[in-house]
Structure 1
């Protein structure tokens, strides 16, 4: 069960993204070597089910000695943020139907206080890689691994953007990394995150998406418009970057650069701008990895948006379930919860609650004569008046129709409750004006006190409701306390079920 809950916290709602990755992704406990998470690609490649893999230690899957696995994990921890990529290994599926060379990258991290090793294993063909290209690819793999981890760990787009830039510098070996996004209401791309050399220059450089402006003829403007990566192998000799030559020549060490569009549904939403001190640093393989990195960022942004939409929908659903849609006041359900909390806190705080059940006198005549739209507006104004005479920590709720309830905190004696009721009655003294019509609205108020009239929320509500009818019998526009002909005191001793 501990592994299950840890896995849920680690993966959050990125399961679909991780499973769709062409890389094998595994998370292993640093100390026990047990796998805590594997993606679907790992299951496909090894021939084991996810359940089987989560029952394994690393040595059982890799057929390595456990001490050797410990050395590798220790090496990952010693490697720090960059991690390390091990030599390619010949891997075979359980049924021997799949066989190939896989290059694992190990990265040590701590998630929720737990030491883990994140393993990203990619199928490679080492003999076709030139030594220098392999080194660059390895760095970008590390940056991609760090980006994937950042997607898991980041809680906001800006945090993710910064993590991507940091990964490109620290793991990818780049000189400068910038995430650019459109400025609302403008054709400019502005930095949302940056890392590396030349930060002061990057912050002040104007980059546009408008092809009619010189600032829009560079790599980022073209990448944004075309949706395709733009690469220059020699920045200072490229006509597309002429507008920035003087700045770059004197203030940066840039030799080559790339701009990779961040796409959503085929349309650009930003760019990832990377610079290197080496010429010809962005070969086809590197660009492919950077495109994947940008795609991962795009997917993560969609996940953030979906999560935000889900959170807002949950908040809205919770609000609608606990509040009156007309007045925005707490409804019966929320009032019951708040009253329960007030009762439960009496022993700790000494603050005794009181309930005031309010019914509008003759309100039916307003609806019948002027219609429900006018009646609703009257109810909104009544709610506003009642709220205006209460303290901030008192609760005004609407049960429905023309019935309101006030939960008054810290009532030490009946006279205190009476003073509050008198203030509420005074709130109805001035006519309520709607669409040029003046309405004389009065209240009948029933009062119940804890513990005099009950120790349970339902008993206090019932006592106040009955007292309200006594107030109406008195002639309306007045108050009555429970027991004034309404009912006798309800015992606080729980009756046997």
Structure 2
């Protein structure tokens, strides 16, 4: 054979050479001048005297200095369709014997099979590559959903701000998608402070000065300044990351993203995530980061709401149990405290003393200087009484100028008398509405638990009876308190 080539006939009528061998100079000439074969020529075609065929006479110039007399065109079938022709050229006329023709047919069929096999191999290879990409994408998608679910779980379980931020960072750093996560917030000077961080190298972030005056600055600064997400799929191509190039290279931090966190609809902090894999931040991953930042904000909002509700609950709880004028316990506060005090006394086998106290001649204060002056005096009395009984006991106001004192873990009667004397001393120098400072007259009736009564109502009733007795002797008494005795009930 003088020359051989394989060509594919294009829809435009021209040929595309797929392979050639032999007289190289003939190639381009043949590809350009060989006429298309009729649709009927889809079997082996022999041209014993090909120059005798007027269609091929323009090809005579393709073999200068050589005499090519015959040719053969072998159709190559690939994927059940005619794909190309295998052209052979010979110097002799009619050189093709029956054996050669048979061999040529076998060659054409084998070429088709080889092409089918190559195509199948390529298809399998492509399918494997696509499958690997699909598996990787599916694995990453599962990782994204796991990270999102883990973040939601953290928000549900976290009991405070620090716990929430720390656990979210840990979940993201162990998600398999990101290796590092941290949350930062600028201080009043505009310097970012790390609130929480997790992942290799994250603790070293504190050594860097990330400031809002850096322009354009790192990703966290850009995200804070613009209020939207910023990312790099390869830090090496980000000029603004040049100051941290050595650190990023040492830690193998290839890509990163930062997104603002809103708290109560106000920009509050920035979430940053880092990956050792370049080009990881596509739309799906960026959307995940944005959703996690939003969930963090919602979690913080919920904690703030719980704190406000708890604060309001505590306020309402306090108001329900305290006198609004003096801040002392009211009837409900007294009842709850006394119930608890009696239970503890039973457990310790100790005594509780209850005293009902009344101010002497308080009506005169209201009648002389008015109720506002009387209220001021009551507040002064409450402050002195609270300080006198101490933090381990209770002072309460029942209304008007009537107060109750509860002393827990009380000793014998003489020890209690010493305490009442100390309380009386606290009222020796009281400032009255007219500006004078003098002794405040007091009367108090006392009773003991469990000696005198076994329940709060009985104790208060007995103390009130003792108060009546001591007030009735106000003009001739030597002390301002009196213990209840059984004979007083009559």
TM-score range, shorter chain: 0.5 to 0.7
Aligned mate of 2:194, from 170, 191, 194: 191
1:487 is aligned to 489
Whether contact under 8 Å (1:207, 1:216) holds in the other structure is: no
Equivalents in 1 of 2:365, 2:207: separation in Å?
64
Task: Within 5 Å, give how 1:122-161 maps onto structure 2.
Answer: 130-161=134-165
Equivalents in 1 of 2:136, 2:434: separation in Å?
80
Instruction: Go from structure 1 to structure 2 and tell me whether the alpha carbon gap of 1:434 and 1:215 turns closer, same or farther (over 3 Å shift).
Output: farther
Equivalents in 2 of 1:163, 1:391: separation in Å?
43
TM-score normalized with structure 1 length: 0.66
Instruction: Go from structure 1 to structure 2 and tell me whether the alpha carbon gap of 1:129 and 1:246 turns closer, same or farther (over 3 Å shift).
Output: closer
- The alignment of Structure 1 onto Structure 2 pairs a total of residues equal to 358
Whether contact under 8 Å (2:369, 2:433) holds in the other structure is: no
Matched, 1:238 2:241: no
Instruction: Go from structure 1 to structure 2 and tell me whether the alpha carbon gap of 1:449 and 1:326 turns closer, same or farther (over 3 Å shift).
Output: same
Q: CA deviation at 1:278?
A: 1.6
* 1:449 aligned counterpart, secondary structure: strand
1:223 is aligned to 223
Whether contact under 8 Å (1:188, 1:206) holds in the other structure is: yes
Instruction: Go from structure 1 to structure 2 and tell me whether the alpha carbon gap of 1:382 and 1:261 turns closer, same or farther (over 3 Å shift).
Output: same
* 1:420 aligned counterpart, secondary structure: helix
Task: Within 5 Å, give how 1:455-494 maps onto structure 2.
Answer: 455-475=454-474, 478-483=480-485, 486-487=488-489
2:177 is aligned to 173
1:164 is aligned to 168
Equivalents in 2 of 1:219, 1:412: separation in Å?
69
Q: CA deviation at 1:352?
A: 1.7
* 1:429 aligned counterpart, secondary structure: coil
Instruction: Go from structure 1 to structure 2 and tell me whether the alpha carbon gap of 1:166 and 1:410 turns closer, same or farther (over 3 Å shift).
Output: closer
* 1:275 aligned counterpart, secondary structure: strand
* 2:329 aligned counterpart, secondary structure: coil
Whether contact under 8 Å (2:393, 2:407) holds in the other structure is: yes
2:100 is aligned to none
Task: Within 5 Å, give how 1:31-180 maps onto structure 2.
Answer: 130-180=134-184
Equivalents in 1 of 2:247, 2:371: separation in Å?
69
* 1:295 aligned counterpart, secondary structure: helix
* 1:186 aligned counterpart, secondary structure: coil
1:344 is aligned to 343
2:276 is aligned to 277
Instruction: Go from structure 1 to structure 2 and tell me whether the alpha carbon gap of 1:221 and 1:412 turns closer, same or farther (over 3 Å shift).
Output: closer
Q: CA deviation at 1:383?
A: 2.3
Deviations 1:236-277 (A, max 9, x none): 32133344335434x432111100111246542111101111
Deviations 1:414-448 (A, max 9, x none): 44433332222222222336795535421111112
Equivalents in 2 of 1:410, 1:162: separation in Å?
46
Instruction: Go from structure 1 to structure 2 and tell me whether the alpha carbon gap of 1:483 and 1:303 turns closer, same or farther (over 3 Å shift).
Output: same
Equivalents in 2 of 1:266, 1:348: separation in Å?
52
Deviations 1:127-176 (A, max 9, x none): 99755444333322221121111112211121111111111111143122
Instruction: Go from structure 1 to structure 2 and tell me whether the alpha carbon gap of 1:164 and 1:410 turns closer, same or farther (over 3 Å shift).
Output: closer
Whether contact under 8 Å (1:150, 1:164) holds in the other structure is: yes
Instruction: Go from structure 1 to structure 2 and tell me whether the alpha carbon gap of 1:263 and 1:473 turns closer, same or farther (over 3 Å shift).
Output: same
Equivalents in 1 of 2:265, 2:457: separation in Å?
58
Matched, 1:425 2:424: yes
Q: CA deviation at 1:484?
A: 8.4
Q: Where do 5+ consecutive residues of structure 2 fail to align?
A: 1-129
Deviations 1:175-203 (A, max 9, x none): 221011232x3322211110112224311
Equivalents in 2 of 1:140, 1:301: separation in Å?
22
Whether contact under 8 Å (1:227, 1:263) holds in the other structure is: no
* 2:327 aligned counterpart, secondary structure: coil
**Aligned Cα RMSD in Å?**
2.7
Q: Where do 5+ consecutive residues of structure 1 fail to align?
A: 1-125, 489-497
* 2:351 aligned counterpart, secondary structure: coil
Equivalents in 2 of 1:394, 1:189: separation in Å?
49
TM-score normalized with structure 2 length: 0.67
Equivalents in 2 of 1:217, 1:372: separation in Å?
66
* Higher-Rg member (1/2): 2
Equivalents in 2 of 1:295, 1:191: separation in Å?
19
Instruction: Go from structure 1 to structure 2 and tell me whether the alpha carbon gap of 1:266 and 1:407 turns closer, same or farther (over 3 Å shift).
Output: closer
Deviations 1:445-488 (A, max 9, x none): 11122344322211110111122122221126712222387425
Whether contact under 8 Å (2:430, 2:439) holds in the other structure is: yes
Whether contact under 8 Å (1:215, 1:243) holds in the other structure is: no
Equivalents in 1 of 2:411, 2:264: separation in Å?
63
Equivalents in 2 of 1:138, 1:194: separation in Å?
23
2:307 is aligned to 308
* 1:410 aligned counterpart, secondary structure: strand
Instruction: Go from structure 1 to structure 2 and tell me whether the alpha carbon gap of 1:375 and 1:182 turns closer, same or farther (over 3 Å shift).
Output: farther
